[in-house]
Amino acid sequence: MKKRDYYEVLGVSRDASQEDIKKAYRKLAVQYHPDKNPGDKKSEELFKEATEAYSVLGDEQARKKYDTFGHEAFSGGAGSAAGGFQGFADFSDFEDLFGDIFGSFFGGAMGGRSRSGRGRSGRDLRFDLRITFEEAAFGAEKELSIQKRVSCVECLGSGVERGSSKEVCKECRGSGQTRIQQGFFTLARTCSACGGSGEKITKPCRSCRGEGLKFANVKLNVKIPAGINDGQRLKLRGEGEEGVGGGRNGDLYVEIAVDPHPFFRREDSNLICDLSIPYTTAVLGGEIEVPTLEGKERLKIPAGTESGKAFKVRGGGVQELGTNRRGDLYIKVNIHIPKKVSGAHLETLNTLKKIELEELAKSSSNKGFFSKVKGVFN
């Protein structure tokens, strides 16, 4: 069967960058990896084909030979004359790549194993925290109560019953990996028998059933920074589920939800407040009392203020996250129109109405307007 072009296998152009080739292979490897498609022969063949293609195109020297001689570069023909291909000179790129791929299957680097040993990394956790508008604006300290798995006190996290010990895994002979031949190179994968630990438990701890972890209620204090906003999250490194056998602890992600405020709405670090004022204050001017996050302040309203006018209270907003700067408070005034009036109020308004109509009739600009209207309809 004729081999497909390596560029076609990875779905990239012949002038693709090394980074594009790596991304294309990573996508295919995740899609067709045997651990994700157990027993699927077609996926296994596609995985081998993609891996073989990447083993050549992922190495710049091998890629140059392939671009010149094609598949013959590595079949003893033109490739031998060109110096032949002995496989990857540097497998560190493959190690990093497959660390990402295996991590997506098992929740950690190389099937959950720690890069520095055979421990299993702890899972990341999420905690939803609701805070008040003021706590988001000024910051706060909250105590969280979290259910998470921690090291078993009976076996000290080993998973082994006291007085017993672990045995070397017979499948991988303690290495934590089994090896698969993929064309002309060998690919290591996490041992399925021991989960990559290299050891097997014959007498599991009765308290944690060999897991090395047990659920416990843990109290944790977390500082909410001033200026945090609704929908943002905090990352508390190492406060997630505990690792096993020397593996790193997971992280805790605190998702923030902020309660709405009865007066203010927030736009970045600025606050907006809608406030109604009497018609007389808008016309004559005056001083009104306005709310702020710290209390109440007096605000001067100039005569002739129109509805919708916004007044700025400098520094009356929310602290910008990670700085000492504060936004501003904008008071947006709207003229209050009563739906019902009676008594002296109604009498006063009727008198005012009569005066305003007389003033309007005397206005020169108004006379000009009515003259233009008359000309249109005559």
Predicted local confidence at residue 1, as pLDDT: 62
Confidence of residue 211 (pLDDT cuts 50, 70, 90): confident
Are the C-beta atoms of residues 172 and 200 closer than 8 Å to each other?
no
Report which DSSP code applies to 120.
B
SS3 state of residue 216: strand
Query: Is-contact 158 285, C-beta < 8 A?
Result: no
Residue 303, pLDDT above cutoff 60: yes
pTM of this prediction? 0.57
For residue 238 the two structure tokens come to: 């190492």
Spatial distance between the Cα atoms of 298 and 282, rounded to a whole number of angstroms: 15
When mean pLDDT is compared across 16-30, 124-138, 332-346, 360-374, the lowest value belongs to 360-374
Segment 292-306 mean pLDDT: 91
Neighbours of 59 (CB within 10 A): 20
Q: 135 versus 48: which is more confidently predicted?
A: 135
* Residue tagged 């007096």 (tokens): 298
Condensed to tens digits (0 to 9), the pLDDT of residues 35-50 reads 777 778 898 889 889 8
For residues 211-227, average pLDDT:
92
Gap between the Cα atoms of 339 and 337, Å rounded: 6
User: In the chain, what percentage of residues exceed pLDDT 90?
Assistant: 38
In sign, the C-alpha dihedral spanning 172, 173, 175, 180 is: negative
Q: Residue 69 carries which side chain, given as an amino acid letter? A: F
Model confidence at 364, pLDDT cuts 50, 70, 90, reads low
Question: Which of 85-89, 130-134, 198-202, 305-309 has the weakest average pLDDT?
Answer: 85-89
CA distances from 338 to 58, 286, 345, 356 (A): 76, 19, 11, 19
Kindly report, residue by residue over 74-91, the tens digit of the pLDDT. 765 444 333 333 333 333
Does residue 179 carry a pLDDT above 50? Answer: yes
Strand order in the sheet with 270-277: 264-267, 270-277, 329-335, 310-313
Residue 36, helix vs strand vs coil:
coil
Out of 102-111, 215-224, 239-248, pick the least confident.
Answer: 102-111
Q: Which amino acid, residue 120?
A: R
Does the structure show a pLDDT above 50 at 196?
yes
State the chain's mean pLDDT as an integer.
Answer: 81
Question: What pLDDT sits at residue 24?
Answer: 92
Higher pLDDT: 77 or 273? It is 273
**What's the pLDDT score for residue 258?**
95
26: pLDDT strictly greater than 80:
yes
**CA-to-CA distance for 21 and 16, rounded, in angstroms?**
7
pLDDT of 112 strictly over 60: no
